[in-house]
Amino acid sequence: MKRQQSFSGKLAVHGGVPVRKTPVPSFPHGTSEIGEREIRAVVKVLRRKTIFRFLNQPEVSESARLEAAYRKYTGCKHALAIGSGGTTALVSALVGLGVGAGDEVILPGYTYIATAAACIVVNAVPVICEVDHSLTMDPRDLEKKITRHTRAIIPVHMRGTPCRMRKILAVARRHKLKVLEDVAQANGGSYRGAKLGALGDAGAFSFQHYKIITSGEGGMVITNDKTVYQRACLAHDSAMVFWSRGENWLRPFAGENYRMCELRAALGLVQFGRLDWILNRCRAVKRRIVEGIGDLPHIRLQDVPDPDGDCGISLVFYLPDSKRAQTFSEALKREGVPNGTMFNQGIPDRHIYCHWEYVMNKWSRDRLGLPWNRAIYKGNVRYSRDMCPNTLHWLGRAIALHLHQRLTVRDADDIVRAIRKVAVA
C-alpha cells in the first residue's frame, strides 16, 4: 500500500465528519463464521447418537479426529481434547507436568485470570512477573522471580502475539523448569517456524466462544512427552484407564471430568478447517494497517517478537502517556473505529493482575488456605496492586483494536486514515 496521506479534517469528536460511518466487522473470530458446515457436522453426530467419545472407534470419534488434527498441525506427538475449556486444559497440563502443592509457577501480569486460577486449582502458588512492550512475559523479570520453589513457567501468547520464546526457554533450561505455553489466545500462531504450544513441555489451547476458533467450550493439551500426556489424560477423566485400549498406562490417580463431547468436537473440527484462512486474512489486514501507520511520530507500535508468527488478530500501539491514550482512543471511536485503552479507571479488566482479587488477597476456597498454607508452601510470595509497574506502565499507554478476518482492504484503509487523522490533529 502506498503510504497514506495524513487526513487533516476536523475531528469527529469536535463536530467534524467521521472517517467511517458504517460499522467495521469485529469479534469474535470463529463464532462469527459458524455456518452450514458446522450445523451439518453437529447434526450428523446427533443422528449417530454416539455423543460420548469413548463409545466410538477412534476413526469415527470426532474428539479423536480433532486430536489427530492438532498432532499433525503442531507436530506434537500427543494431543488431548478437553471439553470444558482452556482453564481445564491448563489444569490438566499442570497435573501432567507434575506441578502441585508447594510449587510456584511464574506467569505474566497480563493474562486472563484463568491462567492464575489453573495454578491455584492444582494447589500451586502463582508468582506474577512483568510484561514488556510486547505485552508478553519479560524474560529478564522472569529470571528475577525464580526461587527454589519454582517448578514451572507459563508464557502466555496474549492477543495472538508470540512470546519471546528463545529467551524464555533459555531461562527455563538454565533453572531446570517446565514450560507450559498458554495458547488460549494464539491458536495457530508460531514462533520462528514452530507452532505455539509445541515449543515448551506442553501447550494448552481454548476453543471458547471468543477464541480464534470455537467449539462453544473446549480446549486441547499438546505435548511430546508421553508421561505428561498420560498424566493429563488421568487428570481429565476420573476413570481414564477404563477407556484406554490396552496401552501401557501409568499407575492411575484421581482425576475429574474434563472430557470432550462429540458435539463440541464436531463443531471444533469444522472450525479447525477455517483456522489458517482466518489467520491469513487477519495477518494481511494487520500488515496493511501497520504499514499505513508505521511512520507516525507520536505512536509506538507494540513490539511483536516474531511478526511472521503473529496471529494478526489485534493491533496495539502506545501513546506517550495514559491521558493522551484515553483522549486518542475516544477520538478514534468517534471516527468510527472501535478500540479501547487497556488499563484505565473503567471496567476492572480480569486480564490485568491487579484485578485478580482472589490472588491479590490470597482468598482460598478451602479451610487450609491452599495453596498459600505455610505448612505446605515454604516460599514467601507477596502480591500488591503495584507490584508490576512496567506492566501497568505499558498497559496504561496502550490502545488496542481487534482485527477481524472479514475486514476488507477498504476497512483497513479507513482504519489507517482514522488513526492518521487523530494522530496529526
Ligand X SMILES: Cc1ncc(COP(=O)(O)O)c(C=O)c1O
Residue 41, H or E segment: helix 36-48
Q: Rounded to the nearest whole angstrom, what is the least distance from the CB of residue 216 to ligand X in the complex?
A: 10
Q: Which is nearer to ligand X, 182 or 262 (CB)?
A: 182
| Chain residue whose CB lies nearest ligand X | 86
Nearer to ligand X, 190 or 208 (CB): 208
Nearer to ligand X (CB atom), residue 115 or residue 405: 115
Among residues 160 and 292, whose Cβ is nearest to ligand X? Answer: 160
Strands (E), 130-223: 150-153, 178-182, 190-191, 194-195, 202-206, 219-223
Report residue 175: phi and psi, to 5°: -105, 10
Q: Which residues contact 90 (CB under 8 A, 6 or more apart)?
A: 114, 115, 118, 154, 180, 182, 204
Active site annotation includes 421: no
Binding site for ligand X (CB under 6 A): 85-87, 111-112, 114-115, 156, 182, 184-185, 206, 208, 219
Sequence-distant (≥ 6) Cβ neighbours of residue 59 within 8 angstroms:
65
Helix boundaries (H) for 188-343: 226-236, 240-243, 262-272, 275-293, 322-334
Nearer to ligand X, 111 or 322 (CB): 111
Closer of 204 and 423 to ligand X (Cβ): 204
Nearest to 87 by CA among 48, 114, 55, 123: 114
Complex with ligand X: residue 155 or 292, whichever CB lies closer: 155
Output the smallest distance, CB 152 to ligand X, in A.
Answer: 15
Which residues 6+ apart lie within 8 Å of 86 measured at CB?
A: 114, 182, 184, 204, 205, 206, 207, 208, 211, 219
Smallest distance, ligand X to C-beta of residue 85, A: 3
- The x, y and z cell numbers of residue 158, run together, are 496474549
Task: Tell me how far, at minimum, the Cβ of 210 lies from ligand X, in Å.
Answer: 7
DSSP one-letter string for 156-175: B-GGGPPP-HHHHHHHHHHH
Name the amino acid, one letter, at 69: A
- Closest approach, Cβ 136 to ligand X, in A, equals 11
- The catalytic residue among 178, 195, 211, 421 is 211
Amino acid type, 283: R
Closest distance to ligand X from the beta carbon of 396 (Å): 20
Q: Tell the smallest beta-carbon distance from residue 86 to ligand X (Å).
A: 3
| Cα–Cα distance measured from residue 128 to residue 138, given in angstroms and rounded to the nearest whole number | 11
CA angle 326, 329, 333 (to 5 degrees): 140
- Give Rg (Cα) of the chain: 22
Question: Catalytic residues, which ones?
Answer: 211
